Amino acid sequence: MTDQKRVYNFAAGPSTLPLEVLKTAQEQMLNYKGSGMSVMEMSHRSSAYQEIFDETKATLKRLLKIPDNYKILLLHGGATQQFSALALNLMQTGKADYIVTGSFSGKAAKEAAKFGDVHIAYDGKENNYTHIPTQDELDIREGVDYVHLCENNTIYGTEWNYVPDTKGAPLVADMSSDILSRPVDVSKYGVIYAGAQKNMGIAGLGVVIIREDLIKPHKENIPVLAEYDTMAAKDSMYNTPPAYAIYMAGLVAKWVEDQGGLEEMAKRNEKKAKLLQDYLDQSDFYNYPTEAGSRSRMNVAFTTPSKELDAKFVKESIAAGMTNLKGHRLVGGIRASIYNAMTYEGVEYLVNFMKKFEEENK
Ligand SMILES: *Cc1c(COP(=O)(O)O)cnc(C)c1O
């Protein structure tokens, strides 16, 4: 395999990984640090694996500056599994408010509504999810068990830029598509959770960062793998954890740290997003409907003047060495996902292609 054969992969998830991380995984594939075996073949109870597991958690704790009164759970099932687990664990009085700013927050609300009284505190349907609500637009009830939001809307390409006031209720945030992309004040959240395959590694792993006082004795009738107290007590090893995905998340977190941590990631991500967004804004060929203050630095969704040209764009982008630029089936058009592992050169390459495409088709 030569590196030249790698494409610029703009996939929303699973998504591109840092080349250095893939090379480390390759180098350690057959014989992890003299153990004589691959990480895939290790007992999750072995000391070699325990070290990988502990180091992954420790690196995440350092990077996100996670306070001591939070637990990090490394669980199966991605973010969707947590849509259910959150409601099953956190609904103590049975009431929760959900802020719906896109597809995944809608799915999370729908899942929670199976288990309790869910009130939609905001729904961005009318503006086609191009807008993140202001505090004044939120209709949050008093005394709910938690308020849920999705920090970055992967499909529509919007992202929160403030932490809303929840009237004292714990704030629960789905950070699947922007975790590790910028510093966060973890202490403002009750729970942060994320599937790993967008910005933190590979599929199969859901990371849950939860304030300890929110881990309550589980209800009698919930699935054991959804019990936060059991998972916390067993340090996520009630059963075999998603061992290789945890190893990969550890490598990615270490890579982020070596690059300069979350401040450096934030700087790079701003710079990449600005390059693409500034170009879209000055162009009268492309349409970028997302409201200025609500734009995601991770997923940029736009269109050309027609569906036919969108399809042509996607086709030609593949021929030019890029992939996965086709928009999500819900919104169509084009979407560029530019997570931590997408280089500035990759975005520059895309923008140059877009300029040429505009010239040739306007
Ligand atoms: C991809 C995604 C999900 C779903 O993640 P799975 O790991 O596939 O369950 C949920 N929320 C957001 C914001 C996502 O981007």
CB neighbour list of residue 90: distance below 8 Å, 6 or more residues apart = 96, 145, 146, 170, 172, 190, 191, 214
pLDDT-derived band at 27, boundaries 50, 70, 90: very high
Query: Are residues 292 and 145 part of one domain?
Result: no
Would you call 123 helix, strand, or coil by DSSP?
Answer: strand
Q: Is 79 in the pocket of ligand 1 (CB under 6 A)?
A: yes
314 has a pLDDT exceeding 80: yes
Q: Does ligand 1 come within 6 angstroms of the Cβ of 150?
A: yes
Q: How far is the CA of 339 from the centre of ligand 1 (A)?
A: 14
pLDDT, tens digit, 9 for 90 and up, residues 180-191: 999 999 999 999
* The pLDDT of residue 284 is above 90: yes
Residue closest via CA to ligand 1's atom 14 equals: 176
* Closest C-alpha to 99, from 72, 129, 73, 79: 129
- Which percentage of the chain shows pLDDT scores above 90? 98
SS3 letters across 98-122: EEECCHHHHHHHHHHCCCCEEEEEE
Q: Could you tell me if the CB of 157 is within 6 A of ligand 1?
A: no
3-state secondary structure of 174: strand
Looking at ligand 1, which atom is closest to the CA of residue 206? 7
Pick the residue whose CA is nearest to atom 5 on ligand 1: 79
311 and 326 housed in the same domain: yes
User: What is the structure's pLDDT at 5?
Assistant: 82
Start-to-end C-alpha separation, the chain:
39
- Round to whole Å and give the CA distance between 98 and 117: 11
Mean pLDDT, residues 235-261 = 98
Average pLDDT of the residues of the chain? 97
- Asked whether 200 and 179 are in contact (CB, 8 A), the reply is yes
Question: Domain holding 280: CATH number?
Answer: 3.90.1150.10
In a mutational test of the pocket of ligand 1, which residue from 75, 104, 205, 324 has the highest number of ligand atoms less than 8 Å from its CB?
104
Please tell me the pTM assigned to this model.
0.97
Quote the ligand 1 centre to 25 CA distance (angstroms). Answer: 24
Name the residue range of residue 106's domain: 22-258
**Of the candidates 301, 244, 295, 302, which has an alpha carbon nearest to the alpha carbon of residue 274?**
295
Distance CA 359, CA 362 (A): 6
Domain end point (choices 226, 258, 290): 258
- Residue 16 inside a domain? The answer is no
Residue where a domain stops, chosen among 258, 274, 304: 258
Shared domain check, 251 and 153: yes
For 328, list phi and psi in degrees, rounded to 5. -60, 145
Q: What is the secondary structure of 305-346 as a DSSP string? A: SSHHHHHHHHHHHHHTTEE--BPPTTT-SEEEE--TTS-HHH
The CATH number for 235's domain is 3.40.640.10
Residues 193 and 315 in one domain: no
Same-domain check for residues 71 and 134: yes
**Omega of the bond prior to 14 within 30 degrees of 0, cis?**
yes
Distance 133 CA to ligand 1 centre (A): 21
CA–CA separation, 318 vs 324, rounded Å?
8
Q: Are residues 95 and 240 in the same domain?
A: yes
Contact 359, 18 (CB under 8 A): no
Shared-domain flag, residues 140 and 76: yes
Of ligand 1's listed atoms, the one at least distance from the Cα of 196 is: 7
Q: Over the stretch 110-130, which tens digit does the pLDDT of each residue have?
A: 999 999 999 999 999 999 999
278/207 same-domain check: no
Domain end, chosen from 258, 290, 315, is at 258
231 CB less than 6 Å from ligand 1?
Answer: no
Question: How much distance in Å is there from the Cα of 150 to the middle of ligand 1?
Answer: 10
Kindly state whether residues 57 and 146 are assigned to the same domain.
Answer: yes
The stretch 21-35 carries a mean pLDDT of: 98
Reference 76, options 209, 215, 231; nearest CA is 231
My answer on whether 113 and 186 are in the same domain is yes
93 Cα–ligand 1 center, Å: 27
* Residue of the CA atom closest to atom 3 of ligand 1: 79
174 lines ligand 1 (CB under 6 A): yes
The predicted structure's pLDDT at residue 1: 46
Q: What is the pLDDT of residue 2?
A: 52
Give residue-wise pLDDT tens across range 171-181: 999 999 999 99
pLDDT band at 14 (very low <50, low <70, confident <90, very high): very high
- The verdict on residue 13 lying in a domain is no
Flag whether pLDDT at 3 surpasses 80: no
Averaged pLDDT for residues 30-57: 98
Give the pLDDT confidence of 328-357 residue by residue, as tens digits: 998 999 999 999 999 999 999 999 999 999
Residue 219: what pLDDT? 95
Residue-wise pLDDT tens digits, 259-283: 999 999 999 999 999 999 999 999 9
The predicted-structure confidence for 50-100, as pLDDT tens digits, reads as follows 999 999 999 999 999 999 999 999 999 999 999 999 999 999 999 999 999
Decide: 78 in ligand 1 pocket, CB within 6 A.
Answer: yes
DSSP run (H or E) holding 296: none
